[in-house]
């Protein structure tokens, strides 16, 4: 911890909007500088290494609001801060901070200037709001530090404190002492030899604010934090979930008229743990740990309009945060890629979900809506689904997290010729600091083809290649990966407006089964048709083998939409007919191809394997 800056000779008797704005900007700069440090010491409630990222993203939202206002009214300034914090709140710590600011705002809304007594009352109100937002408040967390800080500020004001720089300095000393005691109250912190990450984030915010009030400058760089060695081993932190029994950190915003927050809290509490319900009666931010995120979104929809849904796999993040070995590059993709579950786990991949909408209902692809559920909804819901690329913020949150644990991040995304997903990824990557840590690769593919490319990139990363080599290999195989899809029913393509109804009538009369393929430019286009649907599968095999060189070495992936027998047939036939096939993968199809073909769709992807770096796949054997 850095020492407090010396108090200036000029007393600060009040805080107006301008002083609040500048001091908060300084505090946020201090917190952002400690982002990686906070990620490293994050061990409670689960060591998933994202507290710094979540607090930083929350405060980025506040910083943006502060930079776009010149408000001199203190109460209205804090109202803007509270609203921005709620909109940008990420994770347990971010939601608690947002509710703390809501308490500050509600206590000061009519005050143009804050005297020390006003500030002390507001801080106490904020600390109480933060505690009441949690379903199960725990001592030894940021709640303890907030309470101790508020009590100290109240005590000092009661003794006659009138200078804000001195008042905040004394409060900061108390907050640091409270922070140092957090390991005494939480066993997980004691075992790891660290203080609570969320609590330290709040202390960093205070330290930056105090430094501004005493030094008076926003230009002075924050002092560096000392490096911390965790007492717990990386291996134990990677797999010990501690008290956490739920997998997904789930969040969304609910906007409505007079939301019954008490009843909403009660109903949410029955779904999971670590519930934080922040906000007001017209706008609430839900944060909760659950195994079934869609249950949260469905319940939230009963109280108002739901937006900003996200669900992060904490167990996967935990393994990523404490990875061991020589891997320097993390690999992520979007949910348009279809990858076997066992490979996704083994290669430690990360995914940003595409949004799938059935009418008014929105889902997170492969997170709150499984592949099987997607096809069931596709057949039963009269509203045909639409998909939209993830928001840049969805990518940025994951990029920021991974960039704090790896030297570089390679993001392999859906072809830019069929979606704006890759552009959203680029936009997010440009905002990650320091610049150049995130590298975007256009897969020029979808579904199984995209999955093959992602898996190859991940193997290269796990082999210890540097980022330039990983990117080069990914781009090389992307140019040699080909996907083909067999549509045996055009009903869904007609419903989605992709095919005129007249063409379906002709196809049905002639018994045609269209074939889609990914072009070298990354388009999904018509690639011919199979005559005679009764013998469609053997004809499909002959069709695709005419379009690749069967004498080359190939990795093959076969996927199905609720037709495992059809996929079994394709896998067996291709294995028999490709003498140099090195690997056969099997996967369920997701929405990328399935939205056009519906149940019964079959897809095959081929990736040339004869140019691989030596030894990269030597542990694999072909499934014959």
pLDDT of residue 275: 96
Q: Which domain holds residue 165?
A: 17-218
Do 371 and 343 belong together in one domain?
yes
Please say if the pLDDT value at position 8 is more than 60.
no
Q: Could you tell me the pLDDT band of residue 623, with boundaries at 50, 70 and 90?
A: very low
pLDDT of residue 241: 61
Please say if the pLDDT value at position 69 is more than 90.
no
Whether 223 maps to a domain, the answer reads: no
Among 186, 218, 250, the domain boundary falls at 218
Q: Could you tell me the pLDDT band of residue 228, with boundaries at 50, 70 and 90?
A: low
pLDDT of residue 321: 79
529 forms beta bridges with 514
Do 213 and 348 belong together in one domain?
no
Please say if the pLDDT value at position 619 is more than 70.
no
pLDDT of residue 213: 92
CA atoms within 13 A on the CB side of 383: 10
Do 442 and 487 belong together in one domain?
no
pLDDT of residue 230: 62
Average pLDDT over the chain, rounded to an integer: 91
Among 436, 452, 478, the domain boundary falls at 478
Do 471 and 565 belong together in one domain?
no
pLDDT of residue 433: 86
**CATH code, domain with 63:** 1.25.40.340
Q: Could you tell me the pLDDT band of residue 453, with boundaries at 50, 70 and 90?
A: very high
Residue 39: name the closest of 437, 405, 409, 435 by CA.
Answer: 405
**CATH code, domain with 599:** 3.30.1180.10
Please tell me the total count of domains within the chain: 3
Please say if the pLDDT value at position 76 is more than 50.
yes
pLDDT per residue as tens digits for the range 363-373 = 999 999 999 99
Residue 364: name the closest of 344, 396, 388 by CA.
Answer: 388
Whether 170 maps to a domain, the answer reads: yes
Do 487 and 470 belong together in one domain?
no
Do 327 and 470 belong together in one domain?
yes
Please say if the pLDDT value at position 264 is more than 70.
yes
Write down the pTM of the prediction: 0.85
Q: Could you tell me the pLDDT band of residue 122, with boundaries at 50, 70 and 90?
A: very high
Do 465 and 492 belong together in one domain?
no
Do 321 and 383 belong together in one domain?
yes
Percent of the chain whose predicted confidence (pLDDT) is above 70: 93
Do 452 and 333 belong together in one domain?
yes
Whether 429 maps to a domain, the answer reads: yes
What contacts 442, CB < 8 A, 6 or more positions away? 413, 415, 416, 422, 478, 522
Do 38 and 104 belong together in one domain?
yes
Q: Could you tell me the pLDDT band of residue 58, with boundaries at 50, 70 and 90?
A: very high
For residues 90 and 58, the answer to whether their CB atoms sit within 8 Å is yes
pLDDT per residue as tens digits for the range 412-438 = 999 999 899 999 999 999 999 888 999
Do 366 and 504 belong together in one domain?
no
Please give the average per-residue pLDDT across 463-478, as a whole number.
Answer: 97
How far is Cα 73 from Cα 21, in angstroms, rounded to an integer? 10
Whether 102 maps to a domain, the answer reads: yes
CA atoms within 13 A on the CB side of 514: 24
Do 504 and 596 belong together in one domain?
yes
Please say if the pLDDT value at position 338 is more than 90.
yes
Please say if the pLDDT value at position 226 is more than 70.
no
Please give the average per-residue pLDDT across 103-122, as a whole number.
Answer: 97
Please give the average per-residue pLDDT across 283-305, as a whole number.
Answer: 96
Please give the average per-residue pLDDT across 331-357, as a whole number.
Answer: 94
Whether 286 maps to a domain, the answer reads: no
pLDDT of residue 215: 83
For residues 493 and 499, the answer to whether their CB atoms sit within 8 Å is yes
Question: 555 versus 4: which is more confidently predicted?
Answer: 555
Please say if the pLDDT value at position 231 is more than 80.
no
């Amino acid at each position: 911890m850095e020492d407090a800056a010396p108090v200036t000779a000029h007393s600060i008797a009040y805080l107006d909007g301008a002083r609040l704005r500048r001091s908060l900007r300084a505090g946020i700069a201090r917190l952002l500088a400690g982002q990686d440090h906070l990620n490293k010491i994050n061990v409670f409630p689960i060591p998933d290494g994202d507290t710094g990222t979540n607090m930083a993203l929350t405060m980025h939202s506040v910083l943006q609001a502060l930079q776009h206002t010149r408000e001199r009214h203190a109460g209205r300034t804090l109202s803007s801060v509270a609203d921005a914090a709620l909109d940008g709140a990420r994770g347990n710590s971010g939601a608690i901070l947002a509710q703390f600011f809501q308490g500050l705002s509600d206590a000061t809304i009519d005050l143009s200037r804050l005297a020390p007594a006003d500030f002390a009352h507001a801080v106490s109100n904020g600390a109480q709001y933060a505690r009441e937002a949690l379903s199960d408040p725990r001592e030894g967390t940021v709640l303890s530090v907030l309470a101790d800080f508020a009590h100290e500020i109240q005590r000092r004001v009661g003794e006659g404190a009138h200078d804000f720089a001195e008042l905040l300095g004394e409060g900061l000393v108390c907050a640091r002492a409270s922070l140092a005691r957090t390991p005494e109250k939480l066993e997980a912190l004691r075992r790891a030899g660290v203080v609570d990450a969320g609590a330290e984030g709040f202390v960093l915010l205070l330290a930056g604010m105090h430094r501004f009030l005493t030094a008076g400058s926003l230009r002075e760089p924050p002092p560096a934090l000392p490096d911390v060695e965790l007492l717990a081993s990386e291996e134990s932190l990677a797999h010990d979930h501690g008290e956490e029994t739920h997998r997904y950190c789930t969040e969304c915003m609910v906007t409505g008229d007079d939301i019954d927050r008490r009843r909403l809290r009660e109903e949410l509490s029955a779904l999971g743990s670590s519930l934080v319900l922040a906000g007001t009666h017209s706008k609430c931010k839900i944060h909760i740990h659950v195994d079934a995120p869609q249950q949260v979104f469905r319940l939230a929809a009963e109280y108002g309009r739901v937006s900003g849904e996200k669900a992060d796999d904490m167990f996967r993040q935990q393994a990523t945060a404490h990875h061991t070995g020589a891997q320097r590059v993390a690999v992520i993709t979007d949910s348009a890629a279809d990858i076997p579950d066992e490979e996704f786990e083994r290669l430690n991949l990360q995914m940003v979900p595409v949004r799938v909408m059935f009418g008014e209902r929105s889902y997170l692809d492969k997170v709150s809506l499984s592949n099987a559920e997607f096809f069931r909804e596709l057949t039963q819901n009269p509203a045909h689904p639409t998909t939209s690329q993830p928001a840049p913020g969805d990518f940025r949150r994951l990029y920021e997290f991974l960039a704090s644990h790896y030297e570089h991040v390679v993001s392999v995304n859906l072809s830019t010729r069929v979606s704006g997903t890759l552009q959203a990824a680029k936009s997010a990557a440009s905002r990650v600091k320091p610049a150049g840590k995130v590298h975007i690769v256009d897969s020029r593919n979808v579904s199984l083809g995209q999955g093959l490319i992602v898996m190859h990139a991940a193997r290269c990363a796990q082999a210890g290649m540097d980022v330039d080599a990983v990117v080069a290999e990914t781009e090389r195989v992307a140019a040699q990966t080909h996907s083909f899809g067999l549509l045996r029913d055009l009903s869904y393509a007609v419903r989605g407006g992709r095919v005129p109804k007249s063409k379906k009538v002709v196809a049905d009369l002639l018994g045609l089964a269209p074939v889609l393929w990914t072009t070298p430019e990354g388009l999904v286009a018509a690639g011919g048709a199979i005559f005679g649907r009764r013998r469609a599968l053997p004809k499909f095999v002959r069709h695709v083998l005419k379009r690749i060189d069967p004498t080359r070495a190939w990795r093959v992936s076969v996927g199905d939409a609720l037709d495992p027998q059809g996929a079994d047939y394709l896998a067996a036939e291709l294995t028999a007919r490709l003498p140099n096939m090195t690997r056969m993968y099997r996967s369920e199809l997701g929405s990328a191809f399935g939205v056009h073909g519906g149940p019964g769709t079959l897809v095959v992807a081929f990736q040339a394997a004869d140019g691989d770096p030596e030894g990269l796949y030597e542990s694999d054997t072909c499934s014959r």
